[in-house]
Amino acid sequence: MSVKMPKPVSKTELSRLYTRLAIDTHHRLDNSTAEGQARLDLLHRFFDACANLYGTMTLWHAWELFQHVEPELTAKKKILRKDFFSFAEIVRVEKHAYAIMLLPDLYEEETSISIQDAELVHRMLIYPNIWGLNEYYKLLSYQDDKPCVVPARDAFYAYADPNYFWETPEARSLRFFLANLHVAPDAKTTAPDGTPLCGKALSEVVFWTRDDHWEYDDYKAAWRKKAVSEEANKLADFILFTQRSCILNLSSELNEGKVSYPQFFLLTYLASEDFLSMSSIAQKMGHSTAAATGMVDKLQEMGYLKRMSAAKDRRKIMVAITQEGRDLVARMRQNIVRDLAALMAGADPDARQTLADTGKSIRKRRLA
């Protein structure tokens, strides 16, 4: 039998459903109040614990269990039976580690679509389009005619954490055994991102359920976006610090040459080009053509630049750097390299690699 999984709804629709739940339960389950949100959080934990501890359970059985675990809440009518099943209607269309399955979703000849007849099923028991419901049916056969063990309240809610281990000597032995398992050195298995897992300790390997696979790209994209943002912030701090340091150290040299910072930056542009037109200089410097012309005039008077006519159009004036200008840029560049080397000597390898990768990206984009 193919599995018909409930489809999650949009955030807008989910917000509408929770608003309706607050009204229907007379604000006993109202996410706009602290008390109502606390009850909703408790129900979420209860459903998670049921799924992780038992694997599958009818919602009616779950309600009976809830009365046993939370006698005060139910006896004082802080959460009613109809509240419990109305909540189940909503989590059916949310994304959880479990699914609320109606009977026709699980059995061919069943027709009841009542939420009270539905079953809470851990998603690891349901493999759409692969093994169908075989694991679910297998677990039901194991549970048949066996009593339901109910831990004490705190012990029960501990199972809301999917990584929780019941701390018995057997469980500790199993944990130790699993933690010391290694993937075979010649294994061809890879992680979802393609990373080889051969020889790795089992504790270093992340396991994904089949239901989680489709989310992996989203997780990876979000992680990369966050990582890039963090690296960008670090890089911005580094650039601002080094810029200030370099400018302070260049001040004496530039003052001796009577060259301003904008003039020096223009010289660095021209040092990497054979020549530039006045309009190109104005564009690169973010100045008007008149302002760029004044800057070129001063640098030409100091012997750092020269004007010439374009080879193809004698009427067009081009600007080129002189050897004296190249010597000034080279001298300044050596000072910058020395300062950066001193700064990077104290940086960790990851930071240096980030700078190197950023430099490659900038060169690829040919930023001016």
Query: Same structural domain for residues 206 and 315?
Result: no
Mean residue pLDDT of the chain comes to 78
- CATH of residue 268's domain is 1.10.10.10
Last residue of a domain, one of 164, 199, 231: 164
Q: Are residues 140 and 127 in the same domain?
A: yes
Q: Residue 251 is part of which domain span?
A: 222-365
Please give the pLDDT value at position 214. Answer: 43
- Under DSSP, is residue 188 helix (H, G, I), strand (E, B) or coil? coil
Quickly count: other Cβ atoms within 10 Å of residue 118's Cβ.
25
User: How far apart are alpha carbons 102 and 56 in whole angstroms?
Assistant: 13
| pLDDT for the residue numbered 91 | 92
Task: Give yes or no: residues 175 and 158 share one domain.
Answer: no
At residue 223, φ and ψ (nearest 5 deg) are -65, -45
More confident position, 289 or 218: 289
Longest dimension (CA), the chain: 101
Q: 281 and 238: one domain?
A: yes
CB atoms within 10 A of CB 50: 24
Report the range out of 87-96, 174-183, 207-216, 288-297 with the highest average pLDDT: 87-96
Characterize the bridge pairing of strands 276-277 and 98-101: unpaired
Please tell me the predicted confidence (pLDDT) of residue 172: 73
State how far Cα 262 lies from the chain centre: 40
Task: Write down the pLDDT at residue 295.
Answer: 87
**In this structure, is the dihedral angle defined by the CA atoms of residues 272, 275, 280 and 286, taken in order, positive or negative?**
positive
Q: How many CB atoms sit inside 10 A of residue 334's CB?
A: 10
Are residues 159 and 171 part of one domain?
no
Same domain, residue pair 182 and 93:
no
Q: Which of 67, 64, 117, 129 is nearest to 92 (CA)?
A: 117
* Residue 357 is assigned to a structural domain of this protein: yes
Q: Is 6 within the bounds of a domain?
A: no
Could you tell me if 204 and 255 lie in one domain? Answer: no
Q: In this structure, are residues 197 and 183 in contact, taking their beta carbons and an 8 Å threshold?
A: yes
In a domain, 98, yes or no: yes
pLDDT tier at 227, thresholds 50, 70, 90: low
Answer with the one of 177, 211, 245 that is the final residue of a domain: 211
190 plus 244 within the same structural domain: no
Q: Averaging pLDDT over each range in 243-252, 275-284, 294-303, which range is the top one?
A: 294-303
- 93-97, 220-224, 299-303, range with the lowest pLDDT: 220-224
Amino acid 274: pLDDT: 76
297 and 272, same structural domain? yes
Q: Are residues 319 and 331 in the same domain?
A: yes
Q: Which residues pair with 263 in a beta bridge?
A: none
Whether residue 316 is contained in a domain is answered as yes
Q: Which of 184, 211, 238 is the last residue of a domain?
A: 211
Position 22 scores a pLDDT of: 94
**Does residue 315 form part of some domain?**
yes
Q: Say yes or no: 29 and 15 in one domain.
A: yes
5 lies in some domain: no
The DSSP 8-state label assigned to residue 185 in this structure reads T
pTM of the model: 0.49
Mean pLDDT value of segment 157-173 = 76
User: Strand runs (DSSP E) across the chain, as ranges?
Assistant: 56-58, 98-101, 119-122, 276-277, 305-309, 317-321
Report the distance separating Cα 21 and Cα 30, nearest Å: 7
Provide the domain count of the chain: 3
Same domain, 206 and 332: no
Domain assignment present for residue 3? The answer is: no
Q: Would the pLDDT of 62 be above 70?
A: yes
